[in-house]
Structure 1
Amino acid sequence: MFPWLAMGHLLPFLNISKLLAHKGHKVSFISTPRNIERLPKLPPNLSSSITFVSLPLPPIPNFPPSSESSMDVPYINQQSLKSAFDLLQLPVTEFLRRSSPDWIIYDYTSHWLPPVATELGIKKAFFSLFNASALCFMGPPSSLIEDARTTPDDFTVVPPWILFESDIVFRYHEVARYVEKTEEDVTGISDSVRFGYSISESDAVFVRSCPEFEPEWFVLLRDLYQKPVFPTGFLPPPVSEDHEDDGDATWAHIKEWLDKQRLNSVVYVSLGTEASLLREELAELALGLEKSKVPFFWALRNEPTRSEPLIPDGFEERVGGRGMVHVGWVPQVKILSHESVGGFLTHCGWNSVVEGLGFGRVPVFLPVLNEQGLNTRLLRGKDIGVEIPRNERDGMFWSDSVADSVRLAMIDDAGEMKRTKAKIMKGLFGNRDENILYVDELIDYMKSKGSSHVG
């Protein structure tokens, strides 16, 4: 296993590692020292089956040595993190040569890995933590490698290879940051090219979704890729093993507050570990939560590079006991599993979508970057959740829109069907027994292909 250096990638890779280990397979999980420390401890029955392989990350210029994850580096500097990640090629190659595994399962950033695996006679699978519809929007590997879409407007229309009706496209403001980022470091390999080679040179593609949820997209994906594509299911995370890098004290403090709230009354607010809102956006979000009169728990990411206050003066005093703000890491799965939580105001990263719907929480969408806008369109098309209205060009939103959206999701009569739909989704996203059947099929395929080691 070789995931990208982001918690939203490391944790699903670890979840599938545990399922493989449960089935009797030996797994080596490759990452950097600090990221491995951040992962939850393995249950005793799996500790002999999963080995963590710790490879030091080459230093990133102008960043502290502890910067090993996407949440340690501002979004605009993600290319620098990827350049450091690419320098792991030699130690990863040496490890693969020594350990001689049957398969290497890798992430989209590892565009250089498939040729290495081929030379060593190791089977290789690209594991996508993006769903099938997002992958289809990105297109066939040849289009990704050409990197033909260069302006934000190119991403706001349905691409020509999607022949059925679809509204899964980006809004202008959602993709503007992405395009700017890839131009920020012209010497870096773009994400599009990384995806293209990671897909085209794989033996198989594993997708964290299932055909029951997006049937037409899986059909199209197999046509675009012309190779085996396997759903892994949603890989819902186990509540009991949510990582605890701040110890139990953080959760005990949060749980004490949640325990005092009514059933399904709280909206949990978190925009992930990478997204940064502008100061004006943070102010509108805060005022919107205040105006909504709905109880909320707001997890704010700690941004050491930020000098201005994260929330408006006097906000916490005005919301009193109705709202709680926590700056820094929180145990998201435990919070979402708490019976007082009914909704989830989210950036709509796929990891968070899976976690929220896995507990039947109504999503309120505020997409910021990456594929989050595509996920929002997919879910809205299925009448799941509420999207906060925004300016199409600059993405600005207003406190009244936030308040109205939260109230619709949580308490208004007009949102009753959305609350019912979220509970129905729990049966699909959160059913561990159903999800594991996909992993069984995937394991059968991997075993049938065996090993092709070069002597």
Structure 2
Amino acid sequence: MLPWLAFGHMIPFLELAKLMAAKGHNIYFISTPRNIDRLPQIPKTLIPFIKFVKVNLPKVKNLPENAESTKDVPFDDVKYLKIACDGLQQPVSDFLKTTSPDWIISDFCNYWLGQIAGDYGVRMAYFSVFPAVILGFMGSPEVLMYGDDEQQKTLEDFIETPRWISFESDVRPSLFQLTRMTSLSNNLKDDGEKQVGDTYRLGATIQSCNAVLVRSSLEFEPDWLNLLNRLYKKPVIPVGLLPATATNNDNDTSWREAREWLDKREKGSVVYIGFGTETKPSQYELTQMALGLELSGLPFYWVLIDQRGASDDEVIKLPHGFEDRTRERGVVCTSWAPQFKILSHEAVGGLLIHSGMSSVVEGLQLGKPLVLFPMLIDQGLIASYLVEKRIACMIHREEVDGSFEPESVADSLSLVMVKQEGKMYRDKAKEMMSLFSDRNIQDKCLDELMHFMMN
């Protein structure tokens, strides 16, 4: 396995590795030393089956010292992490030559891997940690690599339903999400390095692989998975939703402190707020969010990433006096927190999240209703799919600039957490538990995957 250098990717890869290892298969998990050291511990029973392979990340101009994952750098420096990742071609080639695995399961970033794997007779699968709705909306490998001149000529064209989608769907990103991604991708230092765009990387990876594995299930996304089969013209295999499993490290100080606070709250009264390790809100978004949360009057547990690595000089700050005014009913945690354990506590009644797939799965497998605040394109597509299926509520934002009022945050939270007219979201979350936490569905997906790979 060779995941992209982001914990939102490495963790799902590790979850899939654990499931495969539990079936008796041997896994080599390749990443950098610092990333491997920061991964969660695996169960002792799986240690004989999962070998962690540490490869050193090449030094790259403009990439900060000791930066080995996206959580270590500001968003506009992630491009240099990808350039460094491209420097892993030789060590990965050497590994395949000496180890000769049956398959290598890769992420979107490693567009160069298909050729190397083919040279050594190793089959390659692309594993998408994103659901099928994102891949389907973005189109075929050819469209990803070279664009779609038939339809997508201006920025506004990209929010229209693509011509290759033949079924009814309201799924689309917002214009402000597209604008943000465009400005970030153009915000590069003049370093003379060759820049390879994300969509090209993804398209080339899909084009050169033998199969596409998707974090999804037919029960969750039947139309979108069927679309991928038509677009890719190669096997597309849902590996399941990869529901989280709790670890038993009760000696963890951060969990003890969180549990003590939660134990004092009423059942279902607390809203958990978290935007993952990869997403940091802007100062404007943070201020409006905090004021809205204060306005809601709800108890909250907020895990806030205010800085991405030591080189991030845009440290965001809560409004003056916010923590003092909300001290009696809220916690703001600016360090790592055991998210799944916190969500599992009966005091937590709902989530305010960025629509990242891991947080969506964790919330719904526990039957907790969701309020969504997507910031980037992939999050926007997941959010609009969940809203279309009436699974979650999304905070209203202006289409062009993404502006929003604190009242929108307070109203959405009150609707989903408290009000009678929001009961549909609470009921739907409980209904989704049977899909998102169903180990039989997960086992079925895994069995079909392993049957395919072994044959």
Q: Scaled by the length of structure 1, what TM-score is found?
A: 0.95
Task: Report SS of the residue matched to 1:4.
Answer: coil
Task: Report SS of the residue matched to 1:320.
Answer: coil
Tell me, in whole angstroms, the C-alpha distance in 2 between the residues paired with 1:70 and 1:431: 31
Task: Report SS of the residue matched to 2:327.
Answer: helix
The equivalent residue for 2:368 is 361
The equivalent residue for 1:169 is 172
Tell me, in whole angstroms, the C-alpha distance in 1 between the residues paired with 2:262 and 2:60: 39
Tell me, in whole angstroms, the C-alpha distance in 2 between the residues paired with 1:32 and 1:302: 24
Tell me, in whole angstroms, the C-alpha distance in 1 between the residues paired with 2:447 and 2:290: 45
Shift of 1:416: 0.6
Shift of 1:60: 3.8
What is the identity, as a one-letter code, of the residue corresponding to 1:343? G
Task: Report SS of the residue matched to 2:371.
Answer: strand
The equivalent residue for 2:140 is 140
How big is each residue's C-alpha offset from its partner over 1:56-104, in whole Å with a ceiling of 9 and x where there is no partner? Answer: 1112434442211111111111111100111011101101111110000
Tell me, in whole angstroms, the C-alpha distance in 2 between the residues paired with 1:301 and 1:310: 10
State how 1:432-443 maps to structure 2 within 5 Å. Answer: 432-443=439-450
The equivalent residue for 1:250 is 254
* Residue among 157, 180, 183 paired with 2:183: 180
Tell me, in whole angstroms, the C-alpha distance in 2 between the residues paired with 1:309 and 1:365: 20
- 2:158 maps to 1:158: no
The equivalent residue for 1:123 is 123
How big is each residue's C-alpha offset from its partner over 1:118-162, in whole Å with a ceiling of 9 and x where there is no partner? Answer: 110001110011111111101011111103457532321111101
Tell me, in whole angstroms, the C-alpha distance in 2 between the residues paired with 1:438 and 1:308: 42
Task: Report SS of the residue matched to 1:187.
Answer: coil
What is the identity, as a one-letter code, of the residue corresponding to 1:217? W
- 2:44 maps to 1:44: yes
* Residue among 254, 265, 270 paired with 1:261: 265
- How many residues are aligned here? 445
What is the identity, as a one-letter code, of the residue corresponding to 1:328? S
- 2:65 maps to 1:68: no
The equivalent residue for 2:110 is 110
Q: Say if 1:150 and 1:342 are closer, same or farther in 2 by CA, change over 3 A.
A: farther
Shift of 1:431: 1.7
Shift of 1:302: 3.8
Structure 1 vs Structure 2: percent identity of aligned residues?
45
Task: Report SS of the residue matched to 2:213.
Answer: strand
The equivalent residue for 2:235 is 228
How big is each residue's C-alpha offset from its partner over 1:328-349, in whole Å with a ceiling of 9 and x where there is no partner? Answer: 2111111111111111101101
CA contact (8 A) 1:239 1:334 kept: yes
CA contact (8 A) 1:235 1:432 kept: no
The equivalent residue for 2:27 is 27
Q: CA RMSD in A?
A: 1.6
- 2:417 maps to 1:410: yes
Structure 1: gaps spanning 5 or more residues: 449-455
The equivalent residue for 2:303 is 299
Tell me, in whole angstroms, the C-alpha distance in 1 between the residues paired with 2:216 and 2:451: 18
CA contact (8 A) 1:182 1:191 kept: no
Shift of 1:194: 0.6
Task: Report SS of the residue matched to 1:321.
Answer: coil
The worse-fitting range, judged by mean Cα deviation, of 258-267 and 273-282 is 273-282
The worse-fitting range, judged by mean Cα deviation, of 19-28 and 319-328 is 319-328
Q: Say if 1:119 and 1:111 are closer, same or farther in 2 by CA, change over 3 A.
A: same
- 2:328 maps to 1:321: yes
Q: Scaled by the length of structure 2, what TM-score is found?
A: 0.95
* Residue among 215, 219, 238 paired with 1:212: 219
The equivalent residue for 1:288 is 292
Tell me, in whole angstroms, the C-alpha distance in 1 between the residues paired with 2:439 and 2:66: 35
Shift of 1:367: 0.3
The equivalent residue for 2:207 is 200
The equivalent residue for 2:398 is 391
CA contact (8 A) 2:71 2:277 kept: yes
What is the identity, as a one-letter code, of the residue corresponding to 1:182? S
The worse-fitting range, judged by mean Cα deviation, of 168-177 and 24-33 is 168-177
Tell me, in whole angstroms, the C-alpha distance in 2 between the residues paired with 1:359 and 1:299: 19
The equivalent residue for 2:339 is 332
Q: Say if 1:126 and 1:219 are closer, same or farther in 2 by CA, change over 3 A.
A: same
Tell me, in whole angstroms, the C-alpha distance in 2 between the residues paired with 1:150 and 1:93: 38
The equivalent residue for 1:452 is none
Tell me, in whole angstroms, the C-alpha distance in 2 between the residues paired with 1:89 and 1:241: 37
CA contact (8 A) 1:152 1:179 kept: no
Shift of 1:40: 1.1
What is the identity, as a one-letter code, of the residue corresponding to 2:382? N
Tell me, in whole angstroms, the C-alpha distance in 2 between the residues paired with 1:291 and 1:306: 30
Shift of 1:307: 5.6
Tell me, in whole angstroms, the C-alpha distance in 2 between the residues paired with 1:167 and 1:268: 28
The equivalent residue for 1:451 is none
The equivalent residue for 2:85 is 85
